[in-house]
Amino acid sequence: MREIADGLKFPEGPIAMPDGSVVLVEIAAERLTRVMPDGRKFLIARMPGGPNGAALGPDGWIYVCNSGGFEWIEDPVHGLRPRYQAPAYSGGRIERVDPETGRIETLYTATEHGPLRGPNDIVFDGDGGFWFTDLGKARERDRDQGGIYYARADGSLIREVVHPILTPNGIGLSPDDKVVYVAETEGGRLWAFDIVGPGEIARAPWPSPHGGRFVGAMGVYQRFDSLAVEACGNICVATLANPCITVIAPDGRIVEQVPTDDLHTTNICFGGPDLRTAFVTLSNSGRLVAIDWPRPGLPLHWLNRRP
Residue 283 has pLDDT above 90, yes or no: yes
pLDDT digit string (tens) for 110-141? 999 999 999 999 999 999 999 999 999 999 99
pTM over 0.95: yes
pLDDT digit string (tens) for 239-256? 999 999 999 999 999 999
What is the rounded average pLDDT for all residues in the chain? 96
Confidence of residue 24 (pLDDT cuts 50, 70, 90): very high
Share of the chain above pLDDT 90, in %: 96
Helix, strand, coil abundance in the chain, percent, nearest 5? 0, 55, 45
pLDDT digit string (tens) for 192-218? 999 999 999 999 999 999 999 999 998
Contact by Cβ (8 Å): 35, 41 = yes
Please work out, in degrees rounded to the nearest 5, the angle formed at the alpha carbon of residue 285 by the alpha carbons of 284 and 286: 95
Show me where the domains of the chain are located. 2-292
Q: How many other C-beta atoms are found inside a 10 Å radius of the C-beta of residue 27? A: 28
Contact by Cβ (8 Å): 283, 289 = no
CATH architecture of the domain with residue range 2-292: 6 Propeller (2.120)
Three-state DSSP at 273 gives helix
pLDDT digit string (tens) for 168-199? 999 999 999 999 999 999 999 999 999 999 99
- Cβ neighbors of 196 (< 8 A, separation 6 or more) are 202
* Cα(167)–Cα(270) distance, integer angstroms: 25
